[in-house]
């Protein structure tokens, strides 16, 4: 079975840890751990914004991501994106005004958002902050720079890389952001072992047992899904409230034991395995044709002509981790300006490439898909 996330028992947990990786790539950047990317975004901006200002974010985004901005009294304005996931720059620029505090770029699926440098040039021109949202892939390096550190501040989410219940990093690259940063009670790593930690470890143990039975696995997943990932079961505000936590002890232990290079290598191999398996299928188009050096893919995203039946086909073969992304806010869905984002969200199927999967398992799925 190919499930959505790796297990705590993966061999890729054998040091040197996430800390050492970040220090190697961004020796000058101040960074702080959080329980979630959303809490990190809140603290990162809190010292430099005023209520009544606005933040311009891509329309192709999970609804809960703007909740920290709302809590700070900021209006969230959505900019349209192109098929390539680059900003529609005319639309983006038209939404910036004197009250714009920040523009957010998103490195989707572990790849730099196309136009990243142009976004940085725009935020310089309009004298606002550039937030480099790299929630999807803590280990991706683009042009020698760690994704998440291309802006004035940035975030990354460990939960999307490691078998952890929570965990995120706030990067503070800009001098003013650093000076005005005042960590809230959500900053840092918790020393306490909480009940959620115990439940997470228990679930992980259960997962390894349940690998053999996809249907049993799925029913257990459903019971335990609250807060585990981009589920539609909780409203955006509720998701944000649940995300207001420091990084748990269990996440810290797993992050300290992780081997970043081994994880990135495994993810890249699995990305290529899906490329080979789906090559030549007329009803499935990869979102990314190339896998540049340094990229640690979060998933293997494709656009399918019939996403529901493609997902069902995969599930039948034991790939339970394939999913659509994101669930768009209704206001985005109903606005013609965001037509491309809506089409992308409707067509997209993201396939798991995490380090807990053997490339041979993906090849086996490919063999059966061809039958
Ligand atoms: C693009 C993007 N940014 C930010 C976040 C927020 O990260 P977290 O769930 O750690 O709060 C997510 C999470 O789903 C995301 O997909």
For residue 130, pLDDT beyond 80: yes
Could you report the per-residue pLDDT of 39-73, keeping only the tens digit for each? 999 999 999 999 999 999 999 999 999 999 999 99
Domains of the chain by residue range: 18-180, 260-370
Region label for 45, one of left (φ > 0), alpha (ψ between -120 and 50) or beta (otherwise): alpha
Helices (H), the chain: 18-25, 37-46, 67-71, 89-95, 116-125, 175-180, 195-210, 214-224, 236-242, 249-257, 260-278, 307-316, 330-333, 339-347, 359-370
Distance between CA atoms of residues 304 and 282, nearest Å: 9
Q: Which residues, in sequence order, are CB contacts of 46 under 8 Å at separation 6+?
A: 72, 182, 184
| Å from CA of 160 to ligand 1 middle | 9
Whole-angstrom Cα distance, residue 318 to residue 333? Answer: 31
260-370 matches 18-180 in CATH topology: no
Predicted confidence at residue 270, as pLDDT, reads 97
CATH architecture of 260-370: Alpha-Beta Complex (3.90)
Distance 242 CA to ligand 1 centre (A): 13
For residue 192, the model assigns a pLDDT of 73
CA dist., res. 129 & res. 102, Å (int)? 4
Average pLDDT of span 27-49: 94
Report yes or no: 304 and 287 within 8 Å, Cβ to Cβ.
no
Q: 228 pLDDT band (50/70/90 cuts)?
A: very low
What's the token pair of residue 302?
Answer: 């494709």
What confidence tier does 225 reach under pLDDT thresholds 50, 70, 90?
very low
Q: Which two tokens stand for residue 141?
A: 């390096």
- Ligand 1 site residues (CB inside 6 A) read 36-38, 61-62, 65, 106, 133, 135, 157, 159, 168, 230, 243
Would you give the DSSP letter of residue 277? H
Q: Ligand 1 pocket test: which of 5, 34, 35, 37 has the largest number of ligand atoms within 8 Å of its C-beta?
A: 37
Pair of tokens at residue 136: 């999807």
* Confidence grade of residue 4 (pLDDT, cut at 50, 70, 90): confident
Rounded distance from Cα 170 to ligand 1 centre (Å):
12
> What is the rounded CA–CA span in Å between residue 284 and residue 82?
19
The mean predicted confidence, pLDDT, of the chain is: 89
Q: Is 185 helix (H, G, I), strand (E, B) or coil?
A: coil
CATH 3.40.640.10 fits 18-180, yes or no: yes
Residue 346 burial (CB count, 10 A): 13
93's torsion region: left (phi>0), alpha (psi -120 to 50) or beta?
Answer: alpha
Task: Answer yes or no: is pLDDT of 312 > 70.
Answer: yes
Contact 107/154 with Cβ under 8 angstroms? Answer: no
Is residue 83 predicted with pLDDT exceeding 50?
yes
Residues paired with 77 in a beta bridge: 56
Q: Which residues contact 116 (CB under 8 A, 6 or more apart)?
A: 105, 107, 132, 142, 150
């Amino acid at each position: 079975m190919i499930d959505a996330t790796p297990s705590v028992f993966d061999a890729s947990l054998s040091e040197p840890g996430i800390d050492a990786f970040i220090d190697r790539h961004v020796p000058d950047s101040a960074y702080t751990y959080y329980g979630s990317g959303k809490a990190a975004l809140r603290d990162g901006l809190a010292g430099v914004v005023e209520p009544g200002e606005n933040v311009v974010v891509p329309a192709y985004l999970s609804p809960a991501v703007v909740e920290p901005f709302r809590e700070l009294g900021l209006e969230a304005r959505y900019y349209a994106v192109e098929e390539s996931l680059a900003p529609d720059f005319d639309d983006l620029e038209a939404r910036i005004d004197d009250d714009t505090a920040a523009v957010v770029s998103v490195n989707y699926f572990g790849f730099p958002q196309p136009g990243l440098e142009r976004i940085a040039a725009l935020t310089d021109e309009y004298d606002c902050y550039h937030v480099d949202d790299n929630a999807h892939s803590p280990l991706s390096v683009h042009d020698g720079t760690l994704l998440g550190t291309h802006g004035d501040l940035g975030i990354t989410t460990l939960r999307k890389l490691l078998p952890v219940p929570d965990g995120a990093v706030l990067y503070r690259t800009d001098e003013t952001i650093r000076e005005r940063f005042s960590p809230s009670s959500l900053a840092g790593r918790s020393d306490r072992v909480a009940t959620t930690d115990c439940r997470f470890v228990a679930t992980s143990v259960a997962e390894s047992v349940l690998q053999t039975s996809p249907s049993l696995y799925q029913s257990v997943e459903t019971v335990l899904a609250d807060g585990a990932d981009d589920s539609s079961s909780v409203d955006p505000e509720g998701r944000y409230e649940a995300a207001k936590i420091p990084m748990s002890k269990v996440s810290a232990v797993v992050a300290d034991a992780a081997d970043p290079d081994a994880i990135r290598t495994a993810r890249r191999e699995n990305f290529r395995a899906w490329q080979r398996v789906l090559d030549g299928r007329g009803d499935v188009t990869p979102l990314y044709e190339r896998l540049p050096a340094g990229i640690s893919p979060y998933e293997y995203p494709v656009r399918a002509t019939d996403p529901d039946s493609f997902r069902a086909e995969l599930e039948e073969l034991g790939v339970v981790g394939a999913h659509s992304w994101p669930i768009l806010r209704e206001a985005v869905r109903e606005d013609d300006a965001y037509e491309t984002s809506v089409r992308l969200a409707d067509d997209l199927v993201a396939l798991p490439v995490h380090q807990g999967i053997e490339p041979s398992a993906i090849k086996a799925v490919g063999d059966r898909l061809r039958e």
